[in-house]
Structure 1
C-alpha cells in the first residue's frame, strides 16, 4: 500500500460521520427554537435533550476509542470508532438505543460500553484503566460545561415565576442532570460498567473470571436498584441534586424534567 493510500485510509477512519452531523443539526435547530420561543416548548425540550444525550453517548464512546488508540490499540480506527458514528459500535442497541429508551421511560442516564478494545494491545495497567475512565470523564466535562453556563448566564430561577428563555435553560438543566447522573453511575464498580473497568487491571485473574458472568447484566442491575424508592431518593437527594445545586442548576433541571416527561409511564426519574 502506498503512503498516499495509507494516509487517505487513515483520514477516512477519522472523518466525522453524517449521523453525528445530523444529531448536531437537530440539537442546534431545537436549541434556537427554544431560545426564540417558537413552536411547542415541551416537544422542543424533548428533541433538544434527546439529541444532546445521543451526542454525549457518541462522545463517551469516542473518548474510550481515542484513549485506546493512544494506549496502543490501533485497530479502533479500522473499526470506525473514531468517526463518532454510533452504527459502528459493537452493540449499537446496547449503547445507543437502550440508553435513549432509559431516559425517555425512566429518566435514567446510563451509557453502556460498546466499543471493543483489544486489551492485549494496551501496554500497561494504568493505560487500561485510563481507557475505561475516559468515558465518564467526558460526561463529567459535559456536565461541568452545562452547569457553568447555567451558573454564569441563566437568570436566577426559584420555580415560582417565569424567567427569560426559561424552556431553553431548563432543557440545559435537565441535560446537565443526565450528564451528572451518567458520570456517577458509570463510576459504580459493577462488572460491565466503566467503574469496574478502571479497577479491573489490578484484580486477580481468578476474580475477574468469576465476575465476567455478571458483566452482561451490570447495567440492568444498576437500573433495577434505582427502581427502589429508598435508593432512588438517596441517589438524587444526596448525590445528583447537591452537585447541581452548587451551580444553581437544580431548579432548572427539575423543571426541565417536567417538560421532558410530558407523558407518564409510571416511573419518571428521580423521586419516584
Structure 2
C-alpha cells in the first residue's frame, strides 16, 4: 500500500464510520420516539461506532471500493426494531426506515460546510486542505449511503418503505424476497446497472450541496 492510498484511507475512514453510525443510531432513535425501545435497551441509540460496526461491511468493503475507484457502499449491524411496539406499525415502519437516509442527508450538509471551511482557511493554513478533502469525501459517502438505502429492495430502507405502503396481498410476497436482497444488490452492482442509476443521482445531489455552501468552483474531478 503506497502513501497516496494510505492518505485516501485516512481521509475517508471518519466519514464512513460516522455515516454508518449516525444512520443506524437514527433508526433506533426514531423507533424510540414511535414507541419501540428495543434498540435503546440494547445500547444501539448511540454514536459509539463500536456498537454498530460490522468489520467487513463498515470498514473493509468501503475502503476497498474507494481505493479501486468504485461505488462506495457498506453496511453495519442492523438496528433491531420490534414493529409490534410501534404505535402505528405500518406508518411508523416507513418513518423509522426513512430516518437513516435523512440522517445521511443532514451529515452530507455538515460535511459540505466542513469542506468549505477547510478550503477558506487553507489560504492561511495549508493543513486545512485535509479537512477540505475529508469534507468532500463525507459529502459523497453520505450521499451514496442515502441514495443506495432508498432503493426499494429489502432489506434496504427503501424496501422497508415500499413494504409498509403496499397492500397486504402484495407486501407478503415482496417480504419473502428479503433473504435474496443482498444477492440482488450485488448482481445489479456487478452488471453495472446500480452504478448507472446511482452515479447520476449522487452527482446531482453533490453538485447541489456544494452550490448550497458556495463551493461549486471546487468540485472534485469528474463532478
Q: Counterparts in 2 of 1:64-75, with a 5 A limit?
A: 64-75=27-38
Which residue, 115, 119, 123 being the options, matches 2:79? Answer: 115
1:3-22 pair list within 5 angstroms: none
Q: Are residues 53 and 250 of structure 1, via their aligned partners in 2, closer, same or farther at CA, if it must alter by over 3 Å?
A: farther
Choose between structure 1 and 2 for higher RCO, CA contacts under 8 A separated by at least 6 residues: 1
Q: Whole-Å Cα distance in 1 between the matches of residues 20 and 197 of structure 2? A: 26
The change in CA–CA distance for 1:239 and 1:226 in structure 2 (over 3 A counts) is same
Rg larger for: 1
Give the Å deviation of 1:131.
Answer: 0.6
Match of 1:68, SS state, is helix
Please say if 1:135 is aligned against 2:100. Answer: yes
Return the offset for 1:45: 3.8
Consecutive unaligned residues of structure 1, counting only runs of 5 or more, are 1-39, 156-162, 256-269
Structure 2: any 5+ residue segments left out of the alignment? 67-71
1:253, distance to aligned residue in structure 2 (A): 4.5
Q: How far apart, in 1, do the equivalents of 2:17 and 2:172 lie?
A: 32
TM-score (norm 2): 0.77
Work out which of the residue numbers 149, 154, 164 in structure 1 matches 2:119.
154
Contact persistence 1:76–1:82 (CA under 8 A): yes
Which of the residues 159, 169, 172 maps onto 2:132? 169
Shift, 1:49, TM fit? 1.6
Given the superposition, is the C-alpha separation of residues 54 and 144 from structure 1 closer, same or farther in structure 2, using an over 3 Å criterion?
same
Q: Take 2:7 and 2:118, find their aligned partners in 1: how far apart are those partners?
A: 21
Taking a change above 3 Å as real, the CA distance of residues 76 and 179 of structure 1, as seen in their structure-2 partners, is: same
Q: How much does 1:235 deviate?
A: 3.0
Matches within 5 A, 1:1-272: 42-86=5-49, 88=51, 93=54, 97-107=56-66, 108-111=72-75, 114-124=78-88, 125-151=90-116, 154=119, 164=126, 165-229=128-192, 231-233=194-196, 235-236=198-199, 238-246=200-208, 247=210, 248=215, 253-254=220-221
Q: 1:148 to 1:188 in 2, by over 3 A?
A: same
Q: What TM-score results when the alignment is normalised by the length of structure 1? A: 0.64
CA distance in 1, matches of 2:160, 2:187: 21
Equivalent position SS for 2:78: coil
- Distance, in Å, in 1 between the alignment partners of 2:101 and 2:86 is 19
Q: Residues 173 and 131 from structure 1, CA distance in 2 versus in 1: closer, same or farther, beyond 3 angstroms? A: same
Deviation at 1:62, TM superposition (A): 0.8
- Quote the offset at 1:67 in angstroms: 0.6
> How many corresponding residue pairs?
207
How large is the RMSD of aligned CA atoms in angstroms? 3.2
CA shift at 1:213, angstroms? 3.1
